[in-house]
Each structure stands twice: as C-alpha cells, then as structure tokens.
Amino acid sequence: MIGDILALLAAGVITAYFLIGQSVRKNLSLVAYVFICYLSSSIFLLAYSVILKYPLIGYANSDWLWFFCLALISTILGQTVLNWLIKWLSASTISMSILGEPVGTCTLAFLILGESISYNQIIGSLIILIGICIFLIGQTVKVKDDSSSNSKAI
C-alpha cells in the first residue's frame, strides 16, 4: 500500500512539474530551464543524502558506470527531451507518454539484461500502449474539431 501511495504522489509531482514547465518554457530556453531544474534537484538530493547519512563515495567502478548511464540516458536524453517537447505539446500529452516507460523498461531489460517478460507484463504493456493510442487519437480528433470550429467562426 505504501508503494501505491508513493506512486500516486510521484504521478502528482511529475504532473505538477510539467504543468509548471509548460508555462515557464514559453519564456525560457531549454538549456536555462534544465540547468535550473537539474541543479535544484541535485542540491535537494545531496542534502537528502547528507541528512540521511547515505554514502556519496566508495562505490565500485561498475556502479559509477551505471550511475553515469542513468544520468546520461534517463536524465540528459530522456527527461531533457520531455522538457524540450513541453514547449509545444500539452502537459497532459507529455504526462500520458510517461506511462510508456514501463513498457520500454521491460523491453530494454529483455534486450540488454536477458530478463524474461511474463504474460502479465505483456498484457499490461498492451493495455498501456492501447490506452496511450486511445488518448493520442482523442487528442488528434479534439485538435481537428477545434480547428474546424475556429475556421467556421471566421
């Protein structure tokens, strides 16, 4: 139950992040925006680690490689792309696309780590992908309806 509550809180926080980002990115460049976001989150995580006395050094070299990969792929490539897109796409579209992350995670774990994918994961992935498609089709229809309404009003 605690994990479910944390997941719900995380969904609320990331949605708020994108709603704020949607308005801020209209007037701020991508580089400035991600610099502020990543610096503030780094300071927060550093303070959190120091307060809870988590070690900041002493990890194996292979761990540092994985830390670097997480920073480069997940943050620099993944999150920065979403921060770039938020200037042109709605926060709801960006938030909905994040639901595809578990599907990508399963796929990468299968391809890179040789993990097996269970039937539940396959079914869940299909439900997620169908849900994303339904949302995106609904958004496309909404945009077409809005543009046809605007052209009739003119």
Query: 17 and 73 share a domain?
Result: yes
Q: Which of 76, 82, 79, 132 is nearest to 103 (CA)?
A: 132
DSSP characters for 82-107? HHHHTTTS-HHHHHHHHTTHHHHHHH
CA 73-9-64 angle, to 5 degrees, is 30
Asked if residue 93 is part of any domain, the answer here is: no
Cα(51)–Cα(150) distance, integer angstroms: 55
What percentage of the chain's residues is helix, strand, coil (to nearest 5)? 80, 0, 20
Note whether residue 70 is domain-resident.
yes
Residue 139 lies in a domain: yes
Say if residue 93 is exposed, middle or buried (CB neighbours under 10 Å; 0-12, 13-18, 19+).
middle
Confidence of residue 97 (pLDDT cuts 50, 70, 90): confident
Residues 75 and 36 in one domain: yes
- 154 domain-assigned: no
Asked if 19 and 60 sit in the same domain, the reply is yes
Q: Are residues 76 and 121 both part of a single domain?
A: no
What pLDDT does residue 146 have?
A: 65
More confidently predicted of 148 and 10: 10
Its domain, for residue 41, covers: 1-88
Q: How far apart are the first and last CA of the chain?
A: 53
Task: Record the pTM.
Answer: 0.72
4-56 pLDDT, tens per residue? 899 889 888 888 999 999 999 989 999 999 999 999 999 999 999 999 999 99
Q: Specify the number of domains making up the chain.
A: 2
106: CB partners within 8 A, 6+ apart: 115, 117, 121, 125
68-77 long-range contacts, Cβ below 8 Å, gap at least 24?
75/38
